[in-house]
Amino acid sequence: PGVISSPGLMLAINTLDSYQPNILSGGMHYQAGRWRTGVSVEWQEWSALEDELKNDTVKNNLGLEFDDIVIPRIGAEYYLNDTFTLTGGVAFEESPLANDVNPEVNYLDADRTVIGLGMSATFDHVYGLKHPLRLDFGYQYHLMEEREFQIVSSQPTALNNDVVETKGDVNVFAGSISMQF
């Protein structure tokens, strides 16, 4: 108090933690015998994040630009028997980040193809349980496409010509136990 004379210093800092865009999705599936296939399309409104960032008077939006994206998915299930099911699918997730230069934050992202495989086991009669027990195990492979970004700093002594590249792959294993009731 008293460091800055009246009316003071007006700051509006907008903290975003785990921003979630508006999402609309639709899909359909077809079942024939032991096979079930499905397709879906998801639209994500990332452009609204730019408006949220503009409310920050300290850093403004840092030059970040976002595009709305569409994510197509296709998948299939095969029922081996009453207990075991095999699943698989593929999706393409485009990066919502529109620009390759974003000063100060150096937010990096890339388009990716996601391939998933899994197996489910549903046990209808488990001793001591009234409801069915389901075990799931899945694997996902994410292939990150190559994309270059220029690293930028507002510091006068910084070299602003560094270029970094995003690319690579990610392997994800997941499992779950659930009761259906």
The model carries a pTM of 0.77
Give me the amino acid identity at 121.
Answer: A
Task: Using pLDDT thresholds of 50, 70 and 90, give the confidence band for residue 57.
Answer: low
Query: What integer is the mean pLDDT of 31-56?
Result: 89
What is the chain's Cα-based Rg?
23
What is the C-alpha to C-alpha distance for residues 166 and 144, in angstroms, rounded to an integer? 8
The candidate with the shortest Cα–Cα distance to 99, out of 70, 61, 144, 72, is: 61
Give pLDDT, residue 164.
84
Report DSSP state, residue 101: B
Residue that has been written with the tokens 């007006």 in this structure: 10
Highest mean pLDDT among 7-11, 64-68, 150-154: 64-68
Q: 106-135 pLDDT, tens per residue?
A: 677 899 999 999 999 999 888 988 889 999
Task: Using pLDDT thresholds of 50, 70 and 90, give the confidence band for residue 22.
Answer: very high
Q: 128-170 pLDDT, tens per residue?
A: 888 899 999 999 999 999 998 887 776 666 666 678 888 999 9
In a 10 Å sphere around its CB, with 0-12 CB exposed, 13-18 middle and 19+ buried, how is residue 4 labelled?
exposed
Q: Tell me the percentage of the chain whose pLDDT exceeds 90.
A: 54
